[in-house]
Amino acid sequence: MLLAALWAVPAVGSDKGAVSCSDLSFDDNRYTICEVDATRAQLKLFLRDDQSQVFGHFSSIADALKPEGKELVFATNAGMYHANRAPVGLYIEDGKEEMRLIPNAGPGNFGLLPNGVFCLRQGRADVFETLSFRDSGTHCTSATQSGPMLVIDGELHPRFLPNSTSHYIRNGVGTSADGRRVVFAISRNAVTFHQFGSLFRDHLNLPSALYFDGNISRLHAPQIGRSDAGFMMGPVVGVVE
């Protein structure tokens, strides 16, 4: 396995340098990553507007921010959802819980335990395994549950197979132990869970990482000229300036 990037496009950061996006190749697969300094960036979750209508698209979020003089400088889908775009698992936005934590196994990737929680707090962001999160009593300003975990305490999810034949476009997030370094990644070609988890563990050197979703995965990164369109999304995570 190749343990170094084959090529990378130089990152272009936001005005404050808190967000940096780039394309890279690792282990013969192509990815786009956006690295966020949680101590400097305003990471937020988005689901519904002031009228309780689902935003669904990056453009809808950006339009809602404009009257406040704010800009959406990065965003990606952030967790699985039902047909009505309601979150499948835990969802907290600005202190308000819309959906409770789901600790048990279930169908689909979300129920491929262990799954996890992406937790936003003042000046940091963390990925927790779900049961560890439940037992820790951690309070998140905002949080979204998804699954499966990609990396757990430096190890790949135990059910990931190196020879898997399940290849999809995938996106997810990894965090450093101190909660400062947050790296969002989306594959630019179809990859397996094992390949995607290995990106976070072996190239990005992150001890914890969480899968967000598959074929519907999209990225808003205007700094590198990208803002994906498509079907309506559920939860979205973004950086606001």
Q: What is the pLDDT of residues 148-157, one digit of tens each?
A: 999 999 999 9
- Position 36 scores a pLDDT of 98
- Position 3 scores a pLDDT of 35
The rounded percent of the chain whose pLDDT value lies above 90 is: 90
The rounded percent of the chain whose pLDDT value lies above 70 is: 93
Mean pLDDT of 205-234: 96
- Position 163 scores a pLDDT of 95
pLDDT digits (tens, 9 = 90+) for 34-91: 999 999 999 999 999 999 999 999 999 999 999 999 999 999 999 999 999 999 999 9
Rounded Cα–Cα distance for residues 55 and 88 (Å): 17
pLDDT digits (tens, 9 = 90+) for 185-194: 999 999 999 9
pLDDT digits (tens, 9 = 90+) for 91-129: 999 999 999 999 999 878 999 999 999 999 999 999 999
Residue 6 has pLDDT above 70, yes or no: no
Instruction: Give burial (CB, 10 Å; 0-12/13-18/19+) of 150.
Output: buried
Residue 4 has pLDDT above 90, yes or no: no
| Count of residues in the chain | 241
Mean pLDDT of 205-229: 96
More confident residue, 3 or 233: 233
Residue 7 has pLDDT above 50, yes or no: no
Which residues on neighbouring strands pair with residue 37, listed in sequence order? 181
- How far from 214 is each of 6, 60, 79, CA to CA, in Å? 24, 22, 10
DSSP state of 148: -
Mean pLDDT of 171-199: 98
**Which band of pLDDT confidence, cut at 50, 70 and 90, is reported for residue 14?**
very low
